[in-house]
A = this chain, B = another copy of it.
């Protein structure tokens, strides 16, 4: 939620649904910039603040939002009540700053809904078994919304974002990108994990785990848009493949510039070497994405993997201090000038030739592929980051995503 004006618009929209007879639970985010402001304040006090206290501080952004939204709803004549995570309660584990929801008690919320109240719940936060405040990490409000929808067995979870739908790719990169009326959960999961920033990956995982029909739609439409129209807008994430409908082979092209590649050269080629390299990296809590091991010469091998760009320096330090001396490896290098581009589609399962078309397309554009990774429904490549937009546009055209119902 941005300004007070935005909050009033959210209230108008919720009031419209409420008056039409829907039971509504709303999970607003913090006001724009608020979470960043709070985290910056904490880091100003100390560069390495306690995660527990960070959560104590950061969770207040959403607490202000829920109070303001209830006040705005009451000004619309709608009976409403706000709850913090601990008041619901939304129970989480103790992983401060990136906690996971373990249980949601729905009794208090149901009691308020039964009284015809709109219930407004803080996003992004919960409470541990021992009564400590936790936050769910960035995008936690989306995750909270889906989790609450799952716990309350809601008919649908509407996620209002700053885009009006999930697109075949980012329209800022490819103007011919088209909005998708629906995507499968698996496709959305790949898109999210591949850097499409519409939904946080954990919210998609939650939607999938509990089969919550989740719709991504714009928060910028007129709040008084007719419900019949709004209910069909945006992109619905679905869970059952309709076998009668012809599936598109590829639904979208995802990409991410938040990548960095690390390489360890001249590694002795013996069993256990991958663990010797990645064990210390994992222990440092650095997520590793793609992993490649090439055969080298003279009994040695080259080992490469990718991490989030923000983690590159830490990963390099781990490799140089804890890995290199132990396994007697050669050179250790890091490269932040890489990007990942992926073709995603549920239809890929039953079609060969997707990889071939992808590699051919990139080859024609003179783009060198540094790493390749595949899953059932996606193919990802790591390339030099300056070619990222070119690759996205070329693949979008090659897979005919610009054409209606490809």
Contact = CB atoms under 8 A, between A and B. Distances in A.
Interface string A52-77: 11101101100110111011101100
A8 interface: yes
A131 interface: yes
Q: Give chain A's interface secondary structure class.
A: helix
A67 B75 contact: no
A231 interface: no
Contact of A74 (B50, B59, B70, B133): B50
A305 interface: no
B57 A42 contact: no
Contacts of A70: 50, 53, 56
A44 B4 contact: yes
A82 B63 contact: no
A256 interface: no
A72 B70 CA distance: 34
Interface in A31-64: 38, 41-42, 44-46, 49-50, 52-54, 56-57, 59-60, 63-64
Given A38-B64, A67-B56, A82-B56, A75 B4 contact: no
B66 A56 contact: yes
B84 A133 contact: yes
B45 A64 contact: no
A64 B35 CA distance: 12
A7 B4 CA distance: 30
Given A53-B70, A67-B56, A7 B82 contact: no
A87 B131 contact: yes
23 contacts: A8-B45, A38-B64, A41-B68, A42-B67, A45-B75, A46-B75, A49-B71, A49-B74, A50-B70, A52-B82, A54-B67, A56-B63, A56-B66, A56-B67, A56-B70, A57-B63, A57-B64, A59-B63, A63-B63, A86-B86, A87-B131, A87-B132, A87-B133
